[in-house]
């Protein structure tokens, strides 16, 4: 469950089931880790505001560059979160629509900066970036 914090209308937090809290479920799998940084494939099953950012911060793994739920980064000027695939049902035709977006160059650069060359190459292959 997630809710707004008492101090802010923007910042969210993980909480127990209670009034004002919304159920929030994130599924994820680890692609690679070097002990300090990890690359994951995450799916927000529910669609809560800041859901991925809140969940990863809550488990002690804030998203790189997320200055709201973690800290700024010398490697990237924003939070390193990217949606490479969005699938939805068209509201009129009911056709299944899928839109893909390649990983932005700043995130490729981040991977190359924080992982050794072999691991970065493996990650890029896993993410179909090579």
99-109, pLDDT tens digit by residue? Answer: 999 999 999 99
What CA–CA distance (Å, rounded) separates 71 from 68? Answer: 7
Distance CA 129, CA 102 (A): 8
- Coil, helix or strand at residue 33: strand
CA distance linking residue 46 with residue 26, whole number of Å: 7
On whether the pTM is more than 0.85, the answer is: yes
Q: What is the pLDDT of residue 109?
A: 97
The DSSP output letter for 127 is T
CA 6 to CA 3: how far, in whole Å?
A: 9
pLDDT in tens, 67-80: 999 999 999 999 99
What is the Cα–Cα distance from 39 to 19, expressed in whole angstroms?
34
């Amino acid at each position: 469950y997630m809710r707004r914090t008492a101090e802010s209308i923007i910042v969210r937090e993980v909480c127990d089931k209670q009034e004002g809290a919304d159920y929030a479920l994130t599924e994820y799998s680890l692609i690679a880790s070097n002990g300090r940084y990890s690359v994951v494939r995450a799916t927000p099953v529910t669609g809560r505001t800041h859901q991925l950012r809140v969940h990863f911060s809550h488990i002690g793994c804030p998203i790189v560059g997320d200055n709201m739920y973690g800290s700024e980064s010398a490697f990237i000027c924003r939070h390193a979160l990217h949606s490479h695939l969005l699938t939805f049902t068209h509201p009129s035709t009911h056709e299944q629509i899928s839109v893909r977006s390649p990983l932005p160059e700043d995130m490729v650069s981040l991977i190359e900066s924080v992982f050794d060359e072999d691991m970065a190459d493996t990650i890029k292959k896993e993410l179909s970036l090579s």
